């Protein structure tokens, strides 16, 4: 792997730029002086100024005109909250194919964002050499999209890398909407008691690591991006509750949680996962080595935005 100087005016396409992680990625890329194009669904707007292309991944005629890119960061997807497998296929798999067809003659590289769910239910601490073993439809579809990109990029001489995020927390997304707000109004319950381990990562480090993969030209590789301290979900939740002076929540049986939130989401959430970040740490220094530093920073941000 080769390190490079400052990014200059390299040209980047970001999908999912209106989302929780994508919006932070775009902000950081602009700060770093990248020229940022975004694929945005009609009616939506990115919070900062970018070259916005209106389009939907499900459109097989996506068009980027005369533009060319040094790298495409592909984040757009439905989350595991979507229970309809046909919709997941259409957006996460067919949408990825549509995107590839639209950029294959226009980009030098693609970085695909995925999650730790691809590793299934490992019994030991995993690293990137651990075999993929997806056990939910959501992740099987995501892995199919990854395999498609790997194969097509190889055939078309496009550099490719995949980044597997742990559970990403920040001032938007599930952490704020589903945890902080519900701890505040006392409606949060921990599925299955929360004794399972998770690999969390602050959104700033998720974004920073992804950019580092590009800047260090870490292609032909996969990267696990989680902080250095795997922790049980219960410990993570109780720590968050303490930061906002909320009560520690009670539990909900898995079968009830599955009925409400969907079997795939609860399976992904309640599977114990300890993942090593040794590989990504060689090219990226985490700002928040653990949730103990990362959560207080998010709480401060929420307070500064009057969201707490
Ligand atoms: N958040 C996590 O903890 C986590 C963990 C592991 C991996 N990841 C992965 O990281 C990526 C970003 O996650 P996130 O949490 O930022 O998700 P998010 O907030 O739900 O954002 C999803 C993004 O995808 C866009 N999108 C959805 N369907 C689309 C379509 N048909 N055409 C074009 N754009 C579409 C959404 O656009 P609209 O605004 O128009 O809906 C939005 O910008 C995803 O690939 C996710 O699987 C996330």
| CATH at 48 | 3.40.50.720
Cα separations in angstroms, 198 against 1, 171, 233, 271, 290 = 29, 19, 6, 8, 12
175 part of a folded domain: no
Report residue 52: phi and psi, to 5°: -90, 125
How far apart, in whole angstroms, are the C-alpha atoms of residue 74 and residue 183? 32
Alpha carbon 274 to chain centroid, angstroms = 17
Domain count, the chain: 1
**Ligand 1 center–CA 247 separation, angstroms:** 30
Residue 6 lies in a domain: no
Residue 77 placed within a domain: yes
Ligand 1 atom 40, closest CA: 41
Give the pLDDT confidence score for residue 263 in this predicted structure.
86
Which residues line the pocket of ligand 1, CB cutoff 6 A? Answer: 15-22, 39, 41, 44, 56-58, 75-79, 91, 95, 113, 115, 165, 167-168, 173
Within a domain: 195: no
Residue 8, pLDDT score: 55
* Residue 193 resides in a domain: no
What pLDDT, in 10s, does the model give residues 173-207?
999 999 999 999 999 999 999 999 999 999 999 99
DSSP reduced 3-state for 38: strand
**Token pair belonging to 54:** 């209106």
Residue 31 lies in a domain: yes
- Give 115's strand partners: 165
Question: Which residues on adjacent β-strands are paired with residue 69?
Answer: 107
Q: State the pairing for strand pair 71-74/197-198.
A: unpaired
236 is a domain residue? no
Question: pLDDT value at position 227?
Answer: 97
**Residues whose CB falls within 8 Å of the CB of residue 187, separated by 6 or more in sequence, listed in order:** none
Structure tokens at 233: 């979900």
Q: Which of 59, 82, 298, 122 is nearest to 201 (CA)?
A: 298
21 CA distance to ligand 1 middle (Å)? 8
pTM: 0.95
pLDDT value at residue 5:
44
174 belongs to a structural domain:
no
Q: Quote the longest CA-to-CA distance of the chain.
A: 55
Q: Which residues of the chain have pLDDT under 50?
A: 1-7
| CA separation for the pair 114, 112 (Å, rounded) | 7
The alpha-carbon radius of gyration of the chain (Å, integer) is: 19
Tell me, what's the pLDDT at 170? 98
pLDDT at 80: 85
What burial letters (b/e) apply to 134-166, b meaning 16+ CB within 10 Å? bebbbbbbbbbbbebbbebbeeeebbbbbbbbb
pLDDT at 197: 96
**Where in the sequence is the domain holding 155, given as residue range(s)?**
11-167+200-227+276-287
Specify the pLDDT at position 177: 95
């Amino acid at each position: 792997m080769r390190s490079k100087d400052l990014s200059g005016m390299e040209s980047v396409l970001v999908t999912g730029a209106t989302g929780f992680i994508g919006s932070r990625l775009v902000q950081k890329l602009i700060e770093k002086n990248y020229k940022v194009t975004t694929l945005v669904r009609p009616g939506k707007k990115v919070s900062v100024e970018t070259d916005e292309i209106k389009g939907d991944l499900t459109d097989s005629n996506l068009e980027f005109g005369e533009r060319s890119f040094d790298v495409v960061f592909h984040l757009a997807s439905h989350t595991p909250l979507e229970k309809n497998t046909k919709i997941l296929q259409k957006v996460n798999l067919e949408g990825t194919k549509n995107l590839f067809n639209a950029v294959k003659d226009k980009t030098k590289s693609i970085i695909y964002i995925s999650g730790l769910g691809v590793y299934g239910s490992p019994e030991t601490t995993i690293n990137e050499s651990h075999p993929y073993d997806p056990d939910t439809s959501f992740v099987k579809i995501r892995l199919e999209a990854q395999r498609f990109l790997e194969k097509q990029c190889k055939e078309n001489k496009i550099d490719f890398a995949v980044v597997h995020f742990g559970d990403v927390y920040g001032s938007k997304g599930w952490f704020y909407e589903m945890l902080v707000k519900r701890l505040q109004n006392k409606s949060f319950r921990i599925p299955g008691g929360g004794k399972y381990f998770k690999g969390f990562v602050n959104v700033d480090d998720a974004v920073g690591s992804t950019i580092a993969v590009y800047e260090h030209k870490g292609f032909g590789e996969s990267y696990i991006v989680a902080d250095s301290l795997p922790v049980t979900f219960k410990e993570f939740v109780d720590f968050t509750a303490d930061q906002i002076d909320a009560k520690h929540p009670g539990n909900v049986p898995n079968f009830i949680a599955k009925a409400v939130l969907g079997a795939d989401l609860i399976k992904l959430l309640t599977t114990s996962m300890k993942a090593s970040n040794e590989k990504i740490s060689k090219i990226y220094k985490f700002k928040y080595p653990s949730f103990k530093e990362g959560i207080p920073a998010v709480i401060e941000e929420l307070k500064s935005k009057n969201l707490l």
